[in-house]
Amino acid sequence: MLKLIQRQIFLPLLLCMTLFIPGAQASIFNPETFMLDNGMQVVVITNHRAPVVRHMVWYKVGAADEAPGETGIAHLLEHLMFKGTKNMAPGAFSAAVARNGGQENAFTSHDYTAYFQTIARDRLDMVMRMEADRMTNLLITEEQVLPERDVVLEERRSRVDNIPSSQLREQISAALFLNYPYRRPIIGWEHEIRALDVDRILAFYKRYYAPNNAILIVEGDVDVAELKPLAEKYYGAIPRGPDIKRDRTTEPPARADIRLTMEHERVTQPSWSRRYIAPSYNHGLTEHAHALQVVAEIIGGGPSSRLHKKLVLEDAIALSAGAFYGADELGPSTFGVYAAPKPGVEMAQIEEMVAAEITKVLTDGVSAEEVRGAIERMRNNAVFAKDDFGTAAQVFGVALTSGGTVERVEGWLDKIAAVTPETALQAAKAVLEGKHHVTAELLAKPQS
């Protein structure tokens, strides 16, 4: 079962979702949406190319909504959602999907938890009935919690504790965010996972798993006329739950830059990175979010970016170099740069060269040609991303559970197209100029 144990695994998706139509209002997926009486939002993205649908239920709750001392509870509950209900035996849901030729999965992030099935359109009724059932009728016992908790602990060992880069990422998040809950790992801290019991998990389930805290998204060979009666039949019959206000702690100002160095005998490729707290669409200086996407593309978005050309191609001191930024978080986002040195290259040289490229951007700005090229690359990527079945449902799910709207997704390209060299420079200065950051080095441990 897919588990998301890093923030914003889908950062690139919203950057490349749109086909550019010069001189016209851009549109992306042209979804239809409606609201059930109990407060559940429904989004339908019609695509008749194949008699297949992807059915997704997204909950507006993730690891950042967990109470102190309960890290990992959102992720563990995701596992336990497959353990059976008042109407279905443990494993019956998955068996029914497989028996009917479908696929299913689920994932957890800091801001959302989602469950989905990809199946033939004539089986849509079946998966809607089963998914609605486990929204409200989940049955779990201590006997089920204990072994599944062990599964999660083993997942943590294999994906974090045994991988130096994953260990370092946890330390980076804990250093970058002093108080905001993004500092906590999605999979949870081991000692807190061990303390999770059935009473805590059921209380979390009853609080957050309700139709008014969920979004139904169906993509594929279906339209609103077909879907609405099914949505009303299965999900509309579920009573509304308590209204949820996602109150989160406030991040205080950072007072010092932080440097993390990790040596490990399993490191075969050293790496360097630097991260800054940045605004998102929903938090901080939101007016810079779209321009920052363009800045990230120019600095380190691929083979045409400044970092790749300078460090990898021209000076040939790095095997890879780039930048990353995404704007979909409910809370603050992260702007980062990174590089992996070639054998024999000192990490100090890598850091100096990356810092010099950042300084050039802040001092000289970016050119109109670079901005046009960045937007063009995003447009080209969109041609392929738009045709990738399931991507639309993913993009809307991430956006709508993290404070966004259908209109914002659909109008993304117009905002990107409005970015200029001047607004790009303003955004870069707002995040990178004189701002506190976390620098991290992952090194091979010298042989004794």
pLDDT tens digit string along 401-447? Answer: 999 999 999 888 889 999 999 999 999 999 999 999 999 999 999 87
Q: Do residues 53 and 225 lie in contact, with contact meaning Cβ atoms separated by under 8 Å?
A: no
Closest CA relative to residue 419, chosen from 263, 330, 267, 297: 297
Asked if the model's pLDDT at residue 21 lies above 80, the reply is: no
Chain-wide mean pLDDT for the chain?
93
As a whole number, mean pLDDT of residues 282-292 equals 97
For residue 335, report the phi and psi dihedrals to the nearest 5 degrees. -110, 130
Asked if the model's pLDDT at residue 4 lies above 90, the reply is: no
**Alpha-carbon gap, residue 46 to 62, rounded angstroms:** 28
CATH 3.30.830.10 residue ranges for the chain? 31-234, 258-444
Class of domain 258-444: alpha beta
Q: What is the pLDDT of residue 378?
A: 81
Q: What is the pLDDT of residue 2?
A: 43
Residue 321 — very low, low, confident or very high, per pLDDT cuts 50/70/90?
very high
As a whole number, mean pLDDT of residues 220-232 equals 97
Closest CA relative to residue 17, chosen from 282, 300, 327: 327
H helices present in 70-123, as ranges: 73-80, 92-99
Helices and strands in the chain: count of H runs, count of E runs:
16, 11
Asked if the model's pLDDT at residue 19 lies above 50, the reply is: no
Strand order in 258-264's β-sheet?
258-264, 438-444, 271-278, 333-341, 318-325
Q: What is the pLDDT of residue 29?
A: 86
Q: What is the pLDDT of residue 22?
A: 37
User: Domain 31-234, CATH 3.30.830.10 — does that match?
Assistant: yes
**Alpha-carbon gap, residue 14 to 21, rounded angstroms:** 17
By three-state DSSP, how is residue 273 classified? strand
Q: Do residues 291 and 424 lie in contact, with contact meaning Cβ atoms separated by under 8 Å?
A: yes
Q: Count the neighbouring beta carbons within 10 Å of the beta carbon of residue 125.
A: 12
Catalytic residues: 78
CA angle 98, 103, 104 (to 5 degrees): 105
pLDDT above 90 coverage of the chain, percent: 89
Q: Please give the structure tokens belonging to residue 275.
A: 């991260």
Could you give the C-alpha distances from 362 to 211, 252, 308, 309, 357, in angstroms and in order?
47, 25, 18, 18, 9
Q: Which residue has the tokens 């704007």?
A: 327
26, amino acid identity? A
Q: Which helix (H) or strand (E) is 291 found in, with range?
A: helix 289-300
Q: Which residue has the tokens 């200065």?
A: 429
Q: Do residues 374 and 366 lie in contact, with contact meaning Cβ atoms separated by under 8 Å?
A: no
Q: What is the pLDDT of residue 17?
A: 39
Asked if the model's pLDDT at residue 25 lies above 70, the reply is: no
Residue 13 — very low, low, confident or very high, per pLDDT cuts 50/70/90?
very low
Could you give the C-alpha distances from 182 to 10, 32, 63, in angstroms and in order?
16, 32, 8
Could you give the C-alpha distances from 392 to 71, 328, 382, in angstroms and in order?
30, 15, 11
Asked if the model's pLDDT at residue 23 lies above 90, the reply is: no
Bridge-based pairing state of the strands 41-46 and 271-278: unpaired
pLDDT above 70 coverage of the chain, percent: 93
Q: What is the pLDDT of residue 385?
A: 65
Bin 57: left if φ > 0, else alpha if -120 < ψ < 50, else beta: beta
**Alpha-carbon gap, residue 50 to 39, rounded angstroms:** 31
Q: Which residue has the tokens 């901005």?
A: 371
Bridge-based pairing state of the strands 258-264 and 438-444: parallel
**Alpha-carbon gap, residue 71 to 195, rounded angstroms:** 10
**Alpha-carbon gap, residue 40 to 212, rounded angstroms:** 5
Q: What is the pLDDT of residue 336?
A: 98
DSSP assignments along 331-396, one per residue: S-EEEEEEEEEPTT--HHHHHHHHHHHHHHHHHH---HHHHHHHHHHHHHHHHHHTTSTTHHHHHH
Q: What is the chain's Cα-based Rg?
A: 23
Q: What is the pLDDT of residue 390?
A: 92
Q: Which residue has the tokens 């144990």?
A: 5
Q: 256: buried, middle or exposed (CB in 10 Å: 19+, 13-18, 0-12)?
A: exposed
